[in-house]
Amino acid sequence: MPSFQKVAAKNKQGYKWVCTVDAPPDPITGKRKQIARRGDTKKEAENRANKALEDQLEFGIDAKASKNMPFEKIAWEWLEIYAKGPVKESTVRVRSKEIKVLLKHIAAVSIDKVTSKAYQKILNDLDDQDYARTTIEGVHVTANMIFEYAQQHKMRKDNPCSNAKIPVKKLTVEEIENTRIEDKYFEKSEIAEFLTCAREHGLPGDMERFYLLVFSGIRSGEMCALKWTDLDFFMYELNITKTLYNPDNNMRKYKLTPPKTKGSIRKFQLDETIVDMLKALKIQQARERLANKLLLPEYHDKNFMFCHENGYPLVPKNILNRMARLLKKTTISKKATPHIFRHTHISMLAEAGVDINTIMKRVGHDDMKTTMKIYTHVTDKMKKTAAQKIKNHFGSILNF
């Protein structure tokens, strides 16, 4: 039976009613547990107490667990557990950034008070603030995992992310006309111009690095992690087993981690010319390494293929800066990062007639959508020129 108590309150009538009902006993200690709720009337207080009891019986919701539990506290609590799972450190860092985006909106809100409507407004606001769609998608994934964690621990009965919609921007005519798949990779003439620039104006090591990126399609982080033992000079094979993680761009604070995905662990053949170029680099580096070991007592002797004078590996930021420097000396107007060489390699393979499955395995199962777009675009261009090629070779037969 519910019990009632009148307590002082700052409302018009000067008091409220508190209704207390019995809840299931503590499953561990067996001690009696009760649920108390307030209301302006006995009926209101009783309804609230019964509703809380129903939630606990049906969903296992622990009112005490969710009361005064701000979203911020639960978010960081979830991340701490998430980080101990089979996830890369770089992924944890991304999740942390996504949590900080959410905290700008609901940091102090109790975990059980975030409604579906309020959550949808967060996604809409991010879209209005011109956050990239990929960023909004990442925030949504992180929020979903946090609220699932809250459900699992009986802090709320539903997940406000369940039916949320990520806003879709409508492209303007100008954006459609200016969005070209060709901007995602270098054309043959641009490859030639950039590599010529690397040979003639590159800093030490630039030529070897950029030729390797163009003719292998590896990620810049994978290249920075390469050691000489990863290259088989006799079989012309490159073995990709790791990537370099260095969020602070401090060469001494690098970490070698597994590649982006399982499919990124791969072995493939390089062109003989590239291997010979790297062989010459290794010989030169061996001479310099001997001198640097004598001059630098803290020489980092870990056999990295691309490293500073002190032996520490280059970081992706170094490659980005070297590329930006060279691009300024060319006529190339595309906004490009080292990742464009990955797409460029895909276009080269497609133009060479390599099938899509082989391409995907060689580049380590990169973004399927982008890869397919580039592959389709290049092969379609080849089909369009096929008729002209036939005419060029057999045009005389058509003269009748």
d(CA 334, CA 39): 65
Q: Which domains does the chain have, with CATH numbers?
A: 3-59 (3.30.160), 71-152 (1.10.150.130), 183-385 (1.10.443.10)
Residues 65 and 110: beta-carbon distance below 8 Å: no
Greater pLDDT, 171 or 375: 375
Residue 278 has pLDDT above 90, yes or no: yes
Q: What is the pLDDT of residue 68?
A: 67
Residue 139 in this model has a pLDDT that exceeds 90 = yes
Helices (H), 60-131: 63-66, 71-82, 89-106, 116-128
Low-confidence winner among 31-45, 330-344, 361-375 (lowest mean pLDDT): 361-375
State the pLDDT at residue 87. 85
Residue range 85-102, pLDDT digits in tens: 888 888 899 999 999 999
Q: Given this model, what pLDDT does residue 114 score?
A: 93
Question: Which tens digits make up the pLDDT trace of 286-340?
Answer: 888 887 777 877 889 999 999 998 999 999 999 999 999 999 999 999 989 999 9
Cα 150 to Cα 157: distance, rounded to the nearest angstrom: 9
Banded pLDDT at 177 (limits 50, 70, 90): low
Of 286, 274, 289, whose CA–CA distance to 233 is shortest? Answer: 274
204-223 residue pLDDT tens: 999 999 999 999 999 999 99
The pTM assigned to this predicted structure is 0.69
Checking if the pLDDT of 175 tops 70, the result is no
Element (H, E) at 195: helix 188-201
- Mean pLDDT for all residues in the chain: 88
Query: For residue 182, what pLDDT is reported?
Result: 82
More reliable by pLDDT, 263 or 177: 263
Tell whether the model's pLDDT for residue 64 goes beyond 80: no
Separation of alpha carbons 368 and 259, rounded Å? 17
pLDDT for residue 157: 82
